[in-house]
Amino acid sequence: MENVSLSGVRKLKKSYPFQIPPQFVDFQFRVTMATLGDILLTTAQFNADDNGFGLRRLNEINCSWVLTRLAIEMERFPEQYENIQVETWVEEVGRANTTRNFCIRDEKNEIIGNACSQWVFFDMETRRAKDLQTLDGIHEFANGEASLIERPIKLGAVEGEKYDAFKVKYGDIDINGHVNSMRYIQWISDCFSLDRYRASQVKRFEINYVNEMLFGDAVEIIGHEKAPDDFRFEIRRDDKVTCKARVVF
């Protein structure tokens, strides 16, 4: 298997600025969880591009990055027009996956949230993960610094009630040809009422991506409240689990 060389100036840890526009907030003028996740993924892409292993580089060899696990914890959610800084770095690179962390700060440089993500190096032709050892030099970008929150763990099976059911549509599909990872977060977020969001904010959102979903697939969301304010979900396709999530208020 041919190795892919990386070159350029290393930026092991870097912050990127964002402003929260009106179209990215909810009815309480706070950024939505799905948009926050999208900001984190955009930050990851910026940093990967800076270091020579972004999507544009990987697409040249018909490969991509695929998110497998994500955990987000928030002290508070940024509000409309608020300026934030998202700092990111790669903690470690193994053979099967890589761990990337995030720290979200407000205009006073105070930490308002943290996140931890895990990714695989994905072959677009075989639709399978590739050995990260073949991405030559990727290990040099890991700085070993742990996240300020607990890593996302493997979530267990869920038995509960049906929260929603629908089909995957055009707007759900991303450049990898499967459902955009942030779509799952939106689907889970939509399982709660406005009254729930008025009463309390999400403290921790955690998701495992298990199997990809494609255009036209039938989506079924199953969930239950495992403990007070601690909800577990599965998204299924033909009784096959495609992702699992945990939402703690």
pLDDT in tens, 139-179: 888 999 999 999 999 999 999 999 999 999 999 999 888 99
In the structure encoding, which two tokens stand for residue 138, read together? 């990727």
pLDDT in tens, 6-64: 444 456 899 999 999 999 999 999 999 999 999 999 999 999 989 888 878 887 888 88
Q: Which among 225, 121, 226, 108 is positioned nearest to 176, based on CA atoms?
A: 121
> Which residue ranges form the domains of the chain, and what is each CATH number?
4-141 (3.10.129.10), 161-248 (3.10.129.10)
Q: Which helix (H) or strand (E) holds 34?
A: helix 33-50
How many angstroms separate the Cα of 11 from the Cα of each of 47, 114, 119?
Answer: 8, 20, 19
Q: What is the pLDDT of residue 1?
A: 35
Cβ neighbours for 39, distance < 8 A, ≥ 6 positions apart? 18, 31, 86
Q: How far apart are CA 71 and CA 208, in angstroms?
A: 9
